[in-house]
Every structure is written in C-alpha cells, then in structure tokens.
Chain A
Amino acid sequence: MPYNPALVAPMRAEMTKMGAKELTSVSEVDAVIGDQKGSMLVFVNSVCGCAAGNARPALALALKHSVVPQQVVTVFAGQDVEAAARARQYFGEYQPSSPSMALLRDGEVVHFVHRHQIEGRSPQAIAGELTAAFDRFFGATV
C-alpha cells in the first residue's frame, strides 16, 4: 500500500532537485524509456530510509562528475506502482529491487546497481562506483 503522499514528497523532491525527471505513469515511462537513445540513468526510488536515504545523495554526488548520463529519470517503487513495474520491464533479466539504478545506452541496460550493492554503504562509496560506471559506459571513447 502506498505511503501518505506527504510523507514521500521530500523523497520525490530530492530527486527532482538533482535534475531527475519523475515518471509517474505507464505512458510516461513508455514515452521516455520506450525509444531511448543515448545514455540514461533510471533511479528506482524507495521509502527505505537507510538504503534509499544513501542512494539518493550518492546519485546527487555522482551527477557532479565530468561524465554523466544525458538523461536521469526516476520511478517510485511502492508509490507509483504501475510506472515502476513498467520501467522494470525495460531492465531485461535484472530482477526488481528498490532502491536500484539502471544505466541504459540506446535502450540496453549496460550496468545495474542493485539494492544489495547499496545497503549499508556510504553515499561517497556508492557515488564512486557510479562515476566509474559513467566513465566506462558513457565516456567519450565509448
């Protein structure tokens, strides 16, 4: 059951403040991810205080890097249920978890950060791995 919208509003705002486009419906997901070109990061948001509470600031840190995805979008698991489920259909064989992050290039998942790779880690540590992935998959020489 979704949480009170007022409770999760700050978690949504944290994402949009860093420039992420929020996708709240199946049609929005299909329009943005369905024919995706270039580089994109999809952040699956979550109310989990400790995991998502570190993942969001980690992404904000990583987006200050010299190489970043061309688009950053977010769906909210457990809140915008249908939109999150639809986004996950684009993740191929990667299993659902939240929070999580998918890096896409021309519609293909090139890197995935699962919840188990976020749990108990500092935002700095998570950001370090993200920026390494940005360099590897979205760098100029790719």
Chain B
Amino acid sequence: MSGHVFHPGHAELHGITVVVETGSKTYVGRYDSEDQRGVHMLDVGVHDVAEGSSKDEYLRKSVKFGIRSDHKHVLIPADQVTRIVRLSDLTP
C-alpha cells in the first residue's frame, strides 16, 4: 500500500473502494475501519463462489460498471481475510 492518507485521521484505506478476499467470498465496497472484530465495510457487494459464477467476471463488472451494493454494512472477521486490494488496482 502507498503512504497516501485519503482521509486524515482515519486508517489509510478509510473511504477507499477495496476488494476483500476470504476463502469463499469476495467483498467489494468502501473500507471503513478495522478493529478486534474484523474489517468494517460500507455499501458492499458480495460474490460467493458457492453460487457458481466467476469471481473474475464479478470483479471485471465491478470495475467497469461499479458496485451493486447488497449490504449497507459488513463486518468480515479478521481471521478470514486473505487479501485486501484497491478496486482501482484491478484492470477491467
């Protein structure tokens, strides 16, 4: 991650649209904060591999068309998070 602080006084990624990957689900939305319970995200779309669709296609559409928000707020347990990247770092 860069050292750029997007919202002074908050975590580096606060307000940034990110992709949070876990074992089976991928979350796309605005990073809000992280605490002992996990990562808090706002206006979140969720992809679940169990539903059979392609994660890459889901992310490609999110980059091109934006995020279809399914949840206003999501808390992802910290021990489930395998990767966090900025959506803008993904190529469509």
- Tell me the bound Cα distance from A114 to B17 in angstroms: 10
**Number of contacts between A and B (CB, 8 Å)?**
46
Q: Of all chain B residues, which has the CB nearest A93?
A: B65
- Interface size of B by CB at 8 A reads 16
Do residues B15 and A114 form an inter-chain contact, with CB atoms below 8 A? no
**Residues of A contacting B: mostly:** loop
Which residue of A114, A117, A119 is within 8 Å of B6 (Cβ)? A119
Partner of A50, one of B7, B65, B88: B7
Task: Tell yes or no: A24 within 8 A of B by CB.
Answer: no
What are 29 A-B contacts defined by CB distance under 8 Å?
A: A49-B7, A50-B6, A50-B15, A51-B15, A93-B65, A94-B65, A94-B66, A95-B69, A96-B69, A97-B17, A97-B67, A112-B65, A112-B66, A114-B17, A114-B66, A115-B17, A116-B16, A116-B63, A116-B66, A116-B67, A116-B86, A116-B87, A116-B88, A119-B6, A119-B15, A119-B17, A119-B88, A120-B4, A120-B6
